[in-house]
Amino acid sequence: MPPPGMPEGDIKALTTLCDLADRELVVIIGWAKHIPGFSNLSLGDQMSLLQSAWMEILILGSVHRSLPHDDKLVYAEDYIMDEERSRLAGLLERYRAILQLVHSYKKLKVKEEIVTLKALALANSDSMYIEDLEAVQKLQDLLHEALQDYELSQRHEKPWRIRKLLLTLPLLRQTAAKAVQHFYSLKLQGKVPMHKLFLEMLEAKV
């Protein structure tokens, strides 16, 4: 039985999103190991970056999947939410914020470079527990150079584009922070079942 005051449909939608996030977190942890330079960091710093930036990476994944669609968020190929469905699940504010990112990337015609943006979001995390700041800075520089090289080779006629791409990252961080707070409040209320990995990452971020 869903808790009082929360419709069963909301519980189902939020549970599905938490399940999808938990599964994608496993993929993200594996993906991060393949980022050039990431494995050179200490295990502690690798975990600190992941614990800080995981929601940003999840959101960018949803943004990437949503680019071919109009006003719909693709959390998974078989789980798509429009404005009405998001409203019914109590996620209208999240929907609008993520859709703003989708629209920004559509205007910029973002394609493969979103992978580098995900890596930058990870390396530029706001973790307060970094042991080797110099090593993390080196990783950030490496990823910035990779994005610059891509832009020069693919979009050399638009030198302003890289600045526009980087300017989307503050909105991404803000959106991710609000999403974490939202799901943490659900966790405190005990309204939505959550898997262990998702819970651990949620608690590490708050």
> For the chain, which domains are there?
8-204 (1.10.565.10)
- Residue 111 clears pLDDT 50, i.e. is over it: yes
Q: What is the mean pLDDT of residues 30-53?
A: 97
- Residue 146 clears pLDDT 60, i.e. is over it: yes
Q: Are the C-beta atoms of 178 and 25 separated by less than 8 Å?
A: no
Between the CA of residue 24 and those of 12, 75, 103, 198, 203, what are the distances in Å?
Answer: 18, 10, 23, 10, 17
For the chain, the distance separating the N- and C-terminal CA atoms, rounded to the nearest angstrom, is 28
What pLDDT, in 10s, does the model give residues 89-101? 989 999 999 999 9
Q: Are the C-beta atoms of 94 and 72 separated by less than 8 Å?
A: no
Q: Taking the model in full, what pTM does it have? A: 0.92
Q: Are the C-beta atoms of 76 and 141 separated by less than 8 Å?
A: no
Average per-residue pLDDT for the chain: 93
Query: Tokens standing for 132?
Result: 């080797």
